[in-house]
Amino acid sequence: MKILLVEDDRETADYVAQGLTEAGHVMDTAATGKEGLFLAAGEAYDVIILDRMLPGLDGIGIVRTIRAAGIGTPVLMLTTRGGVADRVSGLEAGADDYLVKPFAFAELQARVNALARRPAVSGEATVLRVADLEMDLIRRSVTRAGKRIELQPREFRLLEYLLRHAEQVVTRTMLLEAVWDFHFDPQTNVVETHISRVRGKIDRGFPAELIHTVRGAGYVIRAPD
């Protein structure tokens, strides 16, 4: 794999880069946010490992910028800030996974491998549609009846998952795993809150609702009868 590591702590950067190189990966490294963004936007990587606290431009700013540019490379964010609010803000910005320092290299390597195994978006399915709702995966845009709808990165991923499973009921657990990469119940209403936000953006003001709650089961997006 080709991996980009953006880390300003030299000792940590050398440790991670050496371990991943020894594991057979090709490494590019950057020590500042600006340099990291330049590489992330200009090169093709299988995974990006991104420190949250960086000089110039922090990791949150980098991941938001590349997601806005339509770059879907999996991002593992490293940080010393391990609070729930910190993890949520990193994931909300568009990171795919979150690892708190200090960490075991074996865990970092396992997380990198897991991110790399995620299937890439098929070139044949670049536009997803239900009724008059359309999502362009290349342009990272959403429209309904020709009207552009602005979504935050996590909202986009949530809607994308619903569209990929159109007419099928998806459970809260499925959404937690697919959209937040949580393999446990965080005991929060994060799914319900985001469903409400997405529903408000794509259904409010339109004659027919597309996102429906299935009591006791989950959610489904479907065209009106």
Which tens digits make up the pLDDT trace of 75-127? 999 888 767 777 777 788 888 888 888 889 999 999 998 888 766 544 445 78
The answer to whether position 98 is within a domain reads yes
Q: What is the per-residue pLDDT for 30?
A: 95
Please state, in angstroms and rounded to a whole number, the distance separating the CA atoms of residues 47 and 39.
Answer: 12
DSSP state of 101: S
Which of the listed residues 83, 116, 149 is the one where a domain comes to its end?
116
Pair 176, 86 in one domain: no
The answer to whether position 13 is within a domain reads yes
Pair 68, 8 in one domain: yes
Pair 107, 132 in one domain: no
Pair 112, 134 in one domain: no
Q: What is the per-residue pLDDT for 129?
A: 92
The CATH code of the domain that includes 161 is 1.10.10.10
Q: What is the per-residue pLDDT for 82?
A: 66
Which of the listed residues 88, 116, 144 is the one where a domain comes to its end?
116
What is the pLDDT confidence band of residue 169, given thresholds at 50, 70 and 90? very high
Pair 9, 112 in one domain: yes
pLDDT, averaged across the chain = 88
β-partners of residue 79 are 100
CA distances in angstroms from 35 to 7, 44, 46, 58, 155, listed in the order given: 11, 15, 18, 11, 28
The CATH code of the domain that includes 86 is 3.40.50.2300
Q: Domain range holding 84? A: 2-116
pLDDT tens digits along 181-191: 887 777 889 99
- Percent of the chain exceeding pLDDT 90 equals 54
Pair 144, 193 in one domain: yes
Q: What is the per-residue pLDDT for 121?
A: 46
The answer to whether position 122 is within a domain reads no
Which of the listed residues 85, 116, 147 is the one where a domain comes to its end?
116
Q: What is the per-residue pLDDT for 123?
A: 43
Cα four-point dihedral sign 63, 65, 67, 72: negative
Q: What is the per-residue pLDDT for 146?
A: 92
The answer to whether position 210 is within a domain reads yes
Please state, in angstroms and rounded to a whole number, the distance separating the CA atoms of residues 157 and 150.
Answer: 13
By C-alpha distance, which of 204, 198, 222 is closest to 212? 222
The answer to whether position 77 is within a domain reads yes
Total tally of structural domains belonging to the chain: 2
| pLDDT above 60: residue 71 | yes
The answer to whether position 121 is within a domain reads no
What is the pLDDT confidence band of residue 17, given thresholds at 50, 70 and 90? very high
Pair 191, 171 in one domain: yes
Please state, in angstroms and rounded to a whole number, the distance separating the CA atoms of residues 187 and 184.
Answer: 9
The answer to whether position 189 is within a domain reads yes
Pair 96, 133 in one domain: no
Pair 11, 75 in one domain: yes
The answer to whether position 45 is within a domain reads yes
Query: Among 39-48, 75-84, 207-216, where is mean pLDDT lowest?
Result: 75-84
Pair 15, 110 in one domain: yes
Pair 8, 111 in one domain: yes
Q: What is the per-residue pLDDT for 124?
A: 45
Pair 99, 12 in one domain: yes
